[in-house]
Amino acid sequence: MSDVAHEGISGGPPEAEDISWRKRYWKKNLRLMITLLAIWFTVSFGFGILLIEPLNNIVILGFPLGLWFAQQGSIYVFVILILVYALWMDRIDDEFGVAERNEEGGYK
């Protein structure tokens, strides 16, 4: 962990290595975020609003599929998206040595 010693010290150019972990961390975070937001948009605005009418021609258990996405499906997906984000960020945190797991008091 020697590469972190100069972290956050202002004045003078930060060390090249220091900057590089931050950039990689942030890039991974952004990529995950954008992927999850694309799914978020597709199930809610895509299936639940823009494509609701064609999807309603498919009926499952009495639910027209578009209506199901608008009233149920999108919410299930939202919950899963946030869980995936939290779990995935844990992995990224571990990879970069910034995990906070211990501070939560024996979680996991």
Partner 1 sequence: MTETQFWTFFFIILTFGIYIIIAWRSRVKETKEFYVASQGVPTLANGAAVAADWMSAASFIGMAGLIAFLGSDGSVYLMGWTGGYVLLALLLAPYLRKWGKFTVPEFVGDRYSESVRIVAAIAAIVVSFTYVVGQMAGGGIVFSRFLNLSVEWGVVLVAVVIFVYAVLGGMKGITYTQVAQYTVLIIAYLIPAFAVAYQTTGIPVPQISYGQILTELDSLSVEFGLNEFTEAFSGRAGGQIDVFLVTLSLMLGTAGLPHVIIRFYTTKTVRGARYSAFWALFFISLLYLTAPAVGAFTKLNLLQGVQGQGPDSLPDWINTWGATGLVTVNEDAESIQTVSNLATSGADLIVNNDILVLASPEIGGLPAPIVGLMAAGGMAAAMSTAAGLLLVISSAASHDLYFRVFKKNGASEKEQMMVGRIAMGVAILFAIWAGINPPAFVAQVVAFAFGLAAASFFPILILGIFWKKANGPGATAGMLTGLAFTGTYMIYTLEVFGTSANEHILNVSPEGIGAVGAAVNFVVTIVVSKLTAPPSAAVQEMVEDIRYPQTRKAAVRS
User: Footprint of partner 1 on this chain (CB under 8 A)?
Assistant: 1, 4-5, 7-8, 10, 21-22, 25-26, 29, 33, 36-37, 40, 44-45, 48-50, 52-53, 56, 60-64, 66-68, 70-72, 74-76, 78-79, 81-83, 85-86, 89-90, 93, 96-101, 103-104, 107
d(CA 76, CA 44): 11
Question: What Rg, from alpha-carbon coordinates, does the chain have?
Answer: 21
* Residue 64 DSSP label: E
| In the complex, minimum distance from the CB of residue 40 to partner 1, in angstroms, rounded to a whole number | 5
d(CA 4, CA 6): 6
| In the complex, minimum distance from the CB of residue 25 to partner 1, in angstroms, rounded to a whole number | 6
| In the complex, minimum distance from the CB of residue 16 to partner 1, in angstroms, rounded to a whole number | 16
Question: Partners of 63 in the beta sheet?
Answer: 60
